[in-house]
Amino acid sequence: MKLTQKLVLAKAKASDLESVKKLNCWGCNLTDISIFSQMVNIEVLALSANSISSLSPMAGCLSLCELYLRKNMIPSLSELCHLRPMTRLRVLCLAENPCCGTDPNRYRLSVLRCLPRLQKLDNQVVTEEELAMALVEGEAVTTPPESLKNQLPSNGLPDADVENDPQYYNMKETNKIREELGMKPLRREKFSSLSSPSTRETKPLLRKSHTLDAVLLLLRDLDEEELQVVHIAAQNRLQTFTVDSETFDSLQTVKSVEMQQ
């Protein structure tokens, strides 16, 4: 069933689509929600118990704060890429969709890594510790190749030249992280010129260096709440290194004692 303008206006008791801010279409057997491309001011949207499989029509609903999609037919978490630009989205219900899989913890951490601004997921409050864990353990939600191609213009450079350009790695890593945080990608001119194309041997080092550059660039755009999440994630990561270091020292001590014996 297609969601039509007539049905929307009747349910919302509104005179036009742009004035609709809240809409409840629970259990309407909807499959086509393309009309949301015209509803840019929607703030609260209930679409649970339908047959929706794609979230692409919602990509322009940047005012959306609450979205209820329980019991639909969303096949993959990749559909969440359409929600990333929604910086005001704080409540999401996605339970009982095929994309949830069989591992609740893995699903939850992956969703929170993709949409770290959420305050409540599936009626459960999101904690700062959970967000920090999601950044480390959650799986990255992939974006369709066509979208990535549009986000990373090559400025006319052949594909091979772009892939060998160290500036490309800096831009690619930065935009990848910005995308996961629901931020707009930076254009190529935002990045300063770097050295000449790297050799095969130096590429891994360049990638690691530019990952750090990307993180530092992102810090400028984060607010206090988001910086706190990054801080917790960094502390957890440092604790891992500390444990690994202590384990190594213990093994070295045991080995030394055995050699003396």
For strands 91-93 and 44-46, give the pairing.
Answer: unpaired
Q: 74-96 pLDDT, tens per residue?
A: 999 999 999 999 999 999 999 99
> What separation in angstroms does the CA of 34 have from each of 68, 160, 198?
17, 38, 45
Return the pLDDT at 18: 93
pTM score over 0.75: no
Q: Give the whole-angstrom CA distance, residue 211 versus residue 16.
A: 46
Contacts of 122 (CB under 8 A, 6+ apart): 70, 92, 93, 94, 95, 108
Q: Give the whole-angstrom CA distance, residue 215 versus residue 33.
A: 37
Return the pLDDT at 227: 78
Lowest mean pLDDT, pick from 7-21, 38-52, 193-207: 193-207
pLDDT for 7 beyond 80: yes
34-55 mean pLDDT = 96
Return the pLDDT at 174: 62
Q: 215-237 pLDDT, tens per residue?
A: 665 666 677 777 777 788 777 77
Structural domains of the chain, with CATH = 5-101+119-124 (3.80.10.10)
172-200 mean pLDDT = 54
